[in-house]
């Protein structure tokens, strides 16, 4: 029997990996801050550590939490308010990476300061760290979240890092940063990274536009959106696909309340988990279970269905139509049937829906 890893479906498993839950991510971000704070204090006060180890460790932990972890968590909350459709666990997953990067800069900065005792170099490294973080968030926002609010989102973490470092940075390296001159230099550095970011996006965009007449950045953005399920706009408005009429069949069973709802949307489920039509069962079943308290049964139609949704947002269109039809059904639409010890009624209906 051939090795399973040679089959294409094996690689689709990588598109179904889940992000850590919120509690785990928050704990990781806090732990990253604590470790970075301790390492920074150790690098700065290596010669004095043996005299007051407990104080140095406590100082490093508190500094890491206040200067690194706290601004990261506040930034995550702000981005969640701006992009409500994005799952918090995905936002926190990105912040784990950005917090590691920022922590690396601070630890290296402390080590450099220990050897050189140069406040100017330490000052430049702090500004470079946050300007680089802006560049990281700008690219991530454009590819993962979408171009709307990309620059604003990119500004949040480096700005909060800077604001927290002004009063609290003295616990690491007391730079006595003058606010406005430092802010001007920081945002000038961010502007340079913004230009670099647009150059990078142009390089990614150009080949796809030249050969396919489609934005390469939008292709990546849509692919990652589908991978993360319902993250970002999920609007694949690139002229791909054709509008089709589909039939949504449903069977509703009711006693004193809705008992079960069977739904057969005329679409193909696929191509693999987390993408396009593959989300239909989870999405439609969730609507039925949460909003109506009925048992959901999402059926697969005939194997020759060829209507393939190109984005998860189109499953949302089906969900809205299904919800509308369920809400519009009155008692007069049901037929009484006596089965076993409780009454069941049913209603069959079909609804045409235009999909891309």
**In which band, very low, low, confident or very high, does the pLDDT at 8 lie, cut at 50, 70 and 90?**
very low
Identify the pLDDT of residue 349. Answer: 43
Point out which residues pair with 336 in neighbouring strands: 345
Identify the pLDDT of residue 79. Answer: 93
CB atoms within 10 A of CB 254: 19
CA–CA distance, 71 with 89 (Å, rounded to integer): 17
Q: Pick the residue with more confidence: 75 or 150?
A: 75
Asked if pLDDT for residue 160 goes beyond 80, the answer is: yes
First to last CA, the chain: 41
CA–CA distance, 284 with 286 (Å, rounded to integer): 5
Least Cα distance to 70 among 29, 22, 102 occurs for: 29
CA–CA distance, 215 with 227 (Å, rounded to integer): 18
List Cα–Cα distances, 84 to 77, 92, 229, 233, 284, in angstroms: 10, 14, 14, 11, 20
State the alpha helices, DSSP H only, in the chain.
Answer: 8-11, 22-44, 53-64, 70-82, 88-116, 119-140, 150-168, 179-212, 216-228, 280-292, 312-328
CA–CA distance, 344 with 328 (Å, rounded to integer): 19
Run of H or E residues at 249: strand 244-254
Identify the pLDDT of residue 1. Answer: 40
Asked if pLDDT for residue 18 goes beyond 80, the answer is: no
CA angle 76, 111, 95 (to 5 degrees): 10
CA–CA distance, 307 with 277 (Å, rounded to integer): 9
| Torsion (CA) 159, 162, 167, 168 in degrees, nearest 10 | 110
Determine the average pLDDT of the residues in 52-79: 90
CA–CA distance, 173 with 106 (Å, rounded to integer): 10
Least Cα distance to 181 among 123, 129, 137, 131 occurs for: 123
Determine the average pLDDT of the residues in 326-338: 71
DSSP state of 19: P
DSSP class per residue in 76-143: HHHHHHH-TTS-HHHHHHHHHHHHHHHHHHHHHHHHHHHHH--HHHHHHHHHHHHHHHHHHHHHHIII
User: In the sheet where 244-254 sits, what is the strand order?
Assistant: 295-298, 258-265, 244-254, 342-355, 335-339
Residue range 106-123, pLDDT digits in tens: 999 999 999 999 999 999
Whether this model's pTM surpasses 0.85: no
**In which band, very low, low, confident or very high, does the pLDDT at 239 lie, cut at 50, 70 and 90?**
low
Residues in the chain, overall count: 356
Proportion of the chain above pLDDT 90, given as a percent: 33
Q: Are 182 and 161 in contact (CB under 8 A)?
A: no
Identify the pLDDT of residue 7. Answer: 42
**In which band, very low, low, confident or very high, does the pLDDT at 305 lie, cut at 50, 70 and 90?**
low
CA–CA distance, 287 with 293 (Å, rounded to integer): 9
Distance of CA 120 to the CA centre of its chain: 37
The count of C-alpha atoms lying within 13 angstroms of the C-alpha of 131, restricted to the half-sphere facing its C-beta, is 21
């Amino acid at each position: 029997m051939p090795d399973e890893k040679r089959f294409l479906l094996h690689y689709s498993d990588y598109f179904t990996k889940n992000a850590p839950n919120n509690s785990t991510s928050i704990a990781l971000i806090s732990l990253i801050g604590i470790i970075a704070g301790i390492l920074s204090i150790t690098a700065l006060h290596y010669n004095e550590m043996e005299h007051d180890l407990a104080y140095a460790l406590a100082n490093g932990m508190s500094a890491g939490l206040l200067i690194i972890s706290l601004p990261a968590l506040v930034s995550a909350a702000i981005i969640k308010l701006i992009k409500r459709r994005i799952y918090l666990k995905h936002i926190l997953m990105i912040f784990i990476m950005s917090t590691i990067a920022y922590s690396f800069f601070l630890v290296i900065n402390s080590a450099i300061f220990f050897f050189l005792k140069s406040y100017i170099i330490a000052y430049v490294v702090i500004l470079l760290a946050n300007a680089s973080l802006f560049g990281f968030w700008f690219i991530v926002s454009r590819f993962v979240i979408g171009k709307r609010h990309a620059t604003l989102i990119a500004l949040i973490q480096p700005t909060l890092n800077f604001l927290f470092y002004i009063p609290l940075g003295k616990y690491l390296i007391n730079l006595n940063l003058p606010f406005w001159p430092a802010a001007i230099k920081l945002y000038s550095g961010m502007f340079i990274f913004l230009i670099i970011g647009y150059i990078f996006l142009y390089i990614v965009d150009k080949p796809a536009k030249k050969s396919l007449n489609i934005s390469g950045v939008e292709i990546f953005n849509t692919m990652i959106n589908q991978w993360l399920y319902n993250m970002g706009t999920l609007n694949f408005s690139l002229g791909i696909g054709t509008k089709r009429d589909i039939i949504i069949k449903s069977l509703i069973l009711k006693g004193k309340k809705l008992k079960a709802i069977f739904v057969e949307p005329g679409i193909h489920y696929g191509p693999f988990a987390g993408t396009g039509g593959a989300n239909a069962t989870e999405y439609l079943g969730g609507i039925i279970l949460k909003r109506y308290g009925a048992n959901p049964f999402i059926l697969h139609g005939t194997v020759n269905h060829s209507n393939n949704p190109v984005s998860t947002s189109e499953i949302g269109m089906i969900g809205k139509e299904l919800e509308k039809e369920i809400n519009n059904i009155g008692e007069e639409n049901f037929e009484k049937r006596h089965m076993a010890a409780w009454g069941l009624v049913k209603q069959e209906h079909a609804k045409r829906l235009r999909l891309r």
